[in-house]
Amino acid sequence: MSGRCCDADEGALVALRDRQRTVLWIVLGINAVLFVVEFGVGWWARSTALLADSLDMLGDAFVYAFSLWVLHRGTRWRARAALSKGVVQLVFGLVVLCQATWRAVDGTPPVADAMALMGLVALAGNAWAFALLWRHRSDDINMTSTWLCSRNDLIANTAVLVAAAAVWQLDSVWPDVIVGVSIAMLFLHTARDVIRDARTELAGADEEPTQVTT
């Protein structure tokens, strides 16, 4: 009887990992496409907020790739992947802060219409990704950190739309810079939380089980 229970538990875990893998591949594709499009539009429109949001997309694509890589590995590998995600968020936060400083010195307002249109497209894509990840947000530290990144995307997209409206109304670079810096601070805040949780998980992890690389 206990053997059948163990087999059932193992089968349920395999099914869960398969569902997670499918979701991660979809959201990886969403973020990769949005990064390319949003970075190009952000560069053309001279928008710090769009560039910051596009780097968030790129960071998330790395996050989802890490998550896929460790999906069938043990607790230590999942914690290491979460730690890597935190480091990526930290680096992108610092990069965006530097870019925002440069845009503030330059002082040229971005193209508000392009910001708004791209912000709406990004919001729609990230809302889809968020909905897919919602049911897996509490599965383990790997999926939790992935869901947190998706949640941050929605916040950043909304902030970009607010910045676009303010730039159009005021004809000023400052709303764009302020939102870009705010996104950077969100990167840094999430990086701190993910790195802290991953280090805690690593410190308390049991001996790693035999890896399954299917």
pLDDT digits (tens, 9 = 90+) for 89-121: 788 888 888 888 888 888 888 999 999 999 999
Q: Is residue 214 part of a domain?
A: no
The yes-or-no verdict on residue 124 having pLDDT over 80 is yes
> What was the pLDDT predicted at 5?
47
The contacts of residue 155 (CB under 8 Å, 6+ apart) are 186
Determine the pLDDT at residue 174: 93
Q: Which burial class, exposed, middle or buried, applies to 31 when counting CB atoms under 10 A from its CB (0-12, 13-18, 19+)?
A: buried
* Reported confidence tier of residue 205, pLDDT bands at 50, 70, 90: low
Q: What is the pLDDT of residue 13?
A: 55
pLDDT digits (tens, 9 = 90+) for 60-69: 787 778 767 7
The pLDDT, as a whole number, for residue 116 is 94
Inside any domain, residue 31: yes
pLDDT over 60 (residue 4): no
Q: Answer whether residue 214 shows pLDDT above 60.
A: no
Q: Does the pTM exceed 0.85?
A: no
Classify residue 210: in a domain, yes or no.
Answer: no
Amino acid at 207: E
How many CA atoms does the CB half-sphere of 74 hold within 13 Å?
9
C-alpha 128/C-alpha 138 separation (Å) is: 18
Q: Which domain holds residue 172?
A: 12-204
Q: Is the pLDDT of residue 164 over 90?
A: yes
Residue 3 lies in a domain: no
CATH number (domain holding residue 139): 1.20.1510
Residue 182 inside a domain? The answer is: yes
Q: How many domains does the chain have?
A: 1
- Mean per-residue pLDDT, 60-87: 74
